[in-house]
């Protein structure tokens, strides 16, 4: 029997972290013993929040995450290939959340490339819970930027960060 802890990486920009992300995080802890939230720097996406802000928001959210099955969870930024990052932290599993069929095509291509780069790292897909399938960070930012209420899609703490960024009380 293999007693080596199973380490997983859940990568993303988390700009900002949504209730959908938190759902995948809590469910991923059922699959791995230790979960590393890899915060991608990814300046190409033009993040609303700095890397440090995104890391801090995730760490803040983890303090309030109740159902994480006792798995250790940590947050680490990365700026290299996902496979390189996963290997560097000893991960054997990459967790990816799927919201809709449209996500699958892109993810399917990524799995193919990643399996060539690091065949020892498996990718596990978790479907977003029904009530979170429509939530994306991009849409949350758009709604927030245009003055809409994002409280249903993010935690109160993240909503506060968005309100400050968009200079609203």
Among the four given CATH numbers 3.40.50.620, 3.60.20.30, 1.10.10.10, 3.40.640.10, the one describing domain 7-130: 3.40.50.620
pTM for the structure as a whole: 0.91
Residue 38 parent element (H or E): strand 34-40
Q: Domain boundaries in the chain? A: 7-130
pLDDT score, position 73: 94
pLDDT score, position 50: 94
pLDDT score, position 120: 95
Give which of 168, 104, 128, 147 is closest to 19, Cα–Cα. Answer: 128
pLDDT score, position 26: 92
pLDDT score, position 126: 93
What is the DSSP secondary-structure string of 113-129?
A: HHHHH-TT-EEEEEEPP
Q: Which two tokens stand for residue 160?
A: 């506060």
Give which of 21, 10, 11 is closest to 153, Cα–Cα. Answer: 21
CA angle 39, 45, 47 (to 5 degrees): 65
- The 10 Å Cβ neighbour count of residue 66 is 5
**Distance in angstroms (rounded) separating the CA atoms of residues 24 and 132:** 10
The dihedral through the CA atoms of 39, 15, 129, 108 has a sign that is negative
pLDDT score, position 29: 92
pLDDT score, position 69: 64
What residues of the chain score a pLDDT lower than 50? Answer: none
Dihedral class, residue 155 (left if φ above 0, else alpha if ψ from -120 to 50, else beta): beta
Catalytic residues: 21, 45, 99, 137
- Whether 76 contacts 36, CB under 8 Å: yes
């Amino acid at each position: 029997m293999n007693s080596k802890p199973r380490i997983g990486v859940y990568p993303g920009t988390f700009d900002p972290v949504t209730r959908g992300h938190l759902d995948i995080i809590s469910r991923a802890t059922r699959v791995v013993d230790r979960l590393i939230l890899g915060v991608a720097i990814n300046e190409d996406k033009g993040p609303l929040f700095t890397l440090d802000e995104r890391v801090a928001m995730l760490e803040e959210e983890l303090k309030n995450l109740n159902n994480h099955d006792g798995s250790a969870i940590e947050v680490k930024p990365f700026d290299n290939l996902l496979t390189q990052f996963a290997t560097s932290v000893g991960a054997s599993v990459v967790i990816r959340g799927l919201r809709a069929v449209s996500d699958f095509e892109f993810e399917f291509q990524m799995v193919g490339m990643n399996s060539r780069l690091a065949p020892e790292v498996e990718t596990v897909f978790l479907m977003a819970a029904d009530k979170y399938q429509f939530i994306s960070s991009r849409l949350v930012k758009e709604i927030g930027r245009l003055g809409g209420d994002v409280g249903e899609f993010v935690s109160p703490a993240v909503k506060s960060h968005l309100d400050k960024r968009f200079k609203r009380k």
